[in-house]
Amino acid sequence: MKKIKIIPKTELKLKNVRGFLKRRVTKFGTSAKVDCPKEYLGKEVYLVVCND
């Protein structure tokens, strides 16, 4: 799997957002995953990584 570089930012502005989900990243084999409802299959989504 290709590793994507994260660009550190403190603010995000988006238009036409239907809503957002807060989920925890979980282990999936040697990688990781985030669960998402089926209604978003085929949609373009953004994953925002937050500082805890």
Query: Looking at residue 44, what is its pLDDT?
Result: 86
Give the chain's domain count: 1
pLDDT tens string for the chain (52 positions)?
688 888 888 888 888 888 888 899 999 999 999 998 899 899 888 888 887 6
* CA–CA distance, 4 with 14 (Å, rounded to integer): 21
Please count the other Cβ atoms lying within 10 Å of the Cβ belonging to residue 6.
7
Contact 34, 50 (CB under 8 A): no
pTM strictly above 0.85: no
Which residue segment(s) compose the domain that 52 sits in?
1-52
pLDDT at 1: 67
